[in-house]
Chains A and B, each alone.
Chain A
Amino acid sequence: MPVRTEAAMGTLVTVEVPACGSDVDQAMERAFCWFREIEARCSRFDEESELRRASAHAGAAIRVSPILYEVVRFALLAAEATGGAFDPTVGRRMEMRGFARNYRTGEIAASGEPADGATWRDVELDPSAHTIRLGRPLTLDLGGVAKGFAVDLAARELAPFRDFAIDAGGDLYLGGCNALGSPWRVGIPHPRIEGELIAALAASDRAVCTSGDYERRRLDGEHHILDPRTGDSPRRVASVTVMAPQAVLADALATAAFVLGPEAGIELFESQDVEGLIVTVDMAQWRTRSFRHAA
């Protein structure tokens, strides 16, 4: 069974297709191409990326590629729909907190300007000219959204084979069935006990995104998700899992729920018609009505 793993977007990406044949290999190659392409355009760690170049001139309308434009546009829609709990303009504050290392080179990426009160409202898009304009100097962090996009585009390449799995470090897409002919089973890691699962779910033609405070944690309790409204790491939630039709949607909503906390997080999931599980730091589990464990 073809399985291939590559490093991309700060994580390991694994693609698995139970079918065989040269067309599978070609589709797998195209799937990985999307990861490379999107990373090259949307990374905030690489000063050569299209994102960094487009962010270098605050105040000017910069024409960008369809990829960058659509990723930013979706990020802004997600910011609006979550009342700013998800906000792609937290990039500068992430840098200030030391989340600035390029995973390939180890270099510190810093755009140098001080953090300020920039929000998603400072980013303007012009749909007819395909331009992005930053109302003030800010750093867009498209991390999760860009990775979700890459997963979804890779899923489109593999869709003709029906059965496939894409795992991009917490963002998964499961097409069809596994090699045994049953829906893919996805284990959700226990946020505090390494190697144990707190839940498992069955997924078919769905993206599953899990985000935990145990990833990239700093000694003082700060982790990789910031509340865009306060600049601090939210402390109530230990992990969030979202199952949705698209990985980009699952990723953005999981990040937002981390910030919102369990009550408003579940409310957000219900309103956006996705399934979700939120585990708080006291290990209480909050679920949407539709969330079901795998049998």
Chain B
Amino acid sequence: MAEGGIGNKIGCGLACASSAAIFAVFLAGNVRTRSAVDRFARNVAEKRVAGMVDRRVRSVQEGLHWASGAPKASAASSTAEPKEHWKDGTYKGWGFSRHGDIEATVVITHGRIETAAISQCRTRYSCGVIEPLPGQVVQRQSPDIDYVSGATQSADAFYEAVVAALQKAKA
């Protein structure tokens, strides 16, 4: 928009700009993991390339066929090797989005993520759409989850929540 006429929208409006800015400051202020900031930047860049749907997004969408019912803890049989050292225990963390907040609970057993779950879903929308994500955390032994088309904010909040929980497991 070169000459901003009154009421012209910028992308999805000023609400997106303000929530992104608050998120950026919040992350910087809390000096959370660098990867969270990078992921945020990646996400913004990805949104700019409208219409681009990559393989990962599709795989998650297909995954929705088996995602149903109430949020539950996910445990996977074949999993990656953890890249970090975590202490055994149960850890909780919060992630935030403009649609509301998500609490993740991660259980570490023998240094591995045994289960990951959406323990509290306080988003305006159902967390059912991101239900495949906890399984990915276990499978990959990492908070690096797929993007979920149509639920990027909730997915980001879940990612943040897992990062926050794992941060406590490192301490």
User: Residues on A close to B: CB < 8 A?
Assistant: 34, 37, 65-67, 70-71, 73-74, 77-85, 149, 152-153, 156, 159-160, 162, 205, 244-246, 248-249, 252-253, 260, 264, 267-268, 270-274
Q: Which of B1-48 contact A (CB under 8 A)?
A: 1, 4-10, 13-15, 17-19, 21-22, 24-26, 28-29
User: Does residue B150 face the partner (Cβ distance < 8 Å to A)?
Assistant: no
State in angstroms the CA–CA spacing of A29 and B113 once bound together: 32
Distance of A252 Cα from B26 Cα, bound (Å) = 20
In the complex, the answer to whether B7 meets A74 with C-beta atoms within 8 Å is no
Which residues does chain B contribute within 8 Å of A246, judged by CB atoms? 15, 18-19, 22, 98
A82 to B15, CA, bound (A): 13
Which of chain B's residues have a CB closer than 8 A to the CB of A253? Answer: 14
Q: Which of A65, A84, A252, A272 is close to B13, meaning CB atoms less than 8 Å apart?
A: A272
Q: How far is the CA of A152 from the CA of B6 in the complex (A)?
A: 25
* A71 and B21 contacting across the interface, CB-CB below 8 Å: yes
Are B25 and A267 in contact, with the CB atoms below 8 A?
no
Q: How far is the CA of A162 from the CA of B103 in the complex (A)?
A: 12
Instruction: Let me know if B21 and A153 touch, CB within 8 A.
Output: no
Is residue B122 contacting chain A, with contact meaning CB distance below 8 A?
Answer: yes
Q: Which residue of B lies closest to A260 (CB)?
A: B6
Set of chain A residues within 8 Å of B7, measured between Cβ atoms: 81, 264, 267-268, 270-272
Q: Determine the residue in chain B with the shortest Cβ distance to A207.
A: B18
Distance in angstroms from B157 CB to nearest chain A CB is 10
Known interface pairs A73-B21, A82-B4, A253-B14; A271-B9 also in contact (CB < 8 Å): yes
A66-B28, A70-B25, A271-B9 known; A83 and B122 CB under 8 Å?
Answer: no
| Closest chain A CB from B136 CB (angstroms) | 24
Determine the distance from Cα of A121 to Cα of B65 in the docked complex, in whole angstroms: 50
Q: Which of B22, B122, B124 has the most CB of A within 10 A?
A: B22
Task: Check A82–B6 contact: CB distance below 8 A.
Answer: yes
The contact of A271 among B8, B19, B29, B98, by CB within 8 Å, is: B8
* Beta-carbon contact of A249 and B18 below 8 Å: yes
The contact of A81 among B8, B21, B100, by CB within 8 Å, is B8
Decide if A159 touches B96 in the complex (CB within 8 Å): yes
A85's contact among B6, B9, B19, B98, by CB below 8 Å, is which? B6
A160 to B122: give the CA distance in the assembly, Å.
9
Tell me which of B4, B18, B124 has the highest count of chain A C-beta atoms within 10 A of its own C-beta. B18
Contact between chains at B6 and A66 (CB < 8 Å): no
Complex contact B98–A245 (CB within 8 A) = yes
Kindly state the separation between the CA atoms of A274 and B19 in the bound complex, as whole angstroms. Answer: 14
Q: Which 10 A-B pairs have the closest CB atoms?
A: A271-B7, A80-B4, A66-B28, A70-B21, A83-B6, A249-B18, A246-B18, A74-B21, A152-B22, A77-B17
Q: Kindly state the separation between the CA atoms of A200 and B149 in the bound complex, as whole angstroms.
A: 38
Question: Please, which residues of chain B bring their CB within 8 A of the CB of A153?
Answer: 22, 25-26, 29
Would you call the interface of chain A mostly helix, strand, loop, or mixed? helix
User: How many Å lie between the Cα of A177 and that of B51 in the bound state?
Assistant: 38
A159 cross-chain contacts in B, Cβ below 8 A: 94, 96, 101
Contacts beyond the supplied A81-B8, A271-B8: 13 A-B pairs with Cβ under 8 Å:
A34-B29, A66-B25, A77-B17, A81-B14, A84-B4, A149-B21, A153-B29, A159-B94, A244-B15, A245-B19, A249-B14, A252-B14, A271-B9
Given the known inter-chain contacts A244-B15, A245-B15, please indicate yes or no for A156 contacting B6, CB distance below 8 A.
Answer: no
Is the pair A83, B4 in contact by a Cβ cutoff of 8 Å?
yes
Whether B17 contacts A74 by the Cβ 8 Å rule is yes
Contact of A37 among B8, B29, B103, B124 (CB under 8 A): B29
> Which residues of A lie under 8 Å from residue B101 when comparing CB positions?
159-160
Closest partner residue, chain B, to A80 (CB atom): B4
Q: Please measure, in the bound complex, the distance between the C-alpha atom of A197 and the C-alpha atom of B27, giving whole angstroms.
A: 39
A73 vs B96: C-alpha distance when bound (angstroms): 21
Q: Are A78 and B14 in contact (CB-based, < 8 A)?
A: yes
Chain B residues, CB < 8 A from A272: 7, 9, 13-15
Q: How far is the CA of A92 from the CA of B119 in the complex (A)?
A: 51
Residues from chain A with Cβ under 8 Å of B19 in the complex: 245-246
Question: Residues of B contacting A249 with CB < 8 Å?
Answer: 14-15, 18
By beta carbon, the residue of chain B nearest A151 is B22
User: Across the interface, do A66 and B24 meet the contact criterion of CB distance under 8 Å?
Assistant: yes
Supposing A80-B10, A267-B7 touch, asked if A205 and B100 sit within 8 A by C-beta, the answer is: yes
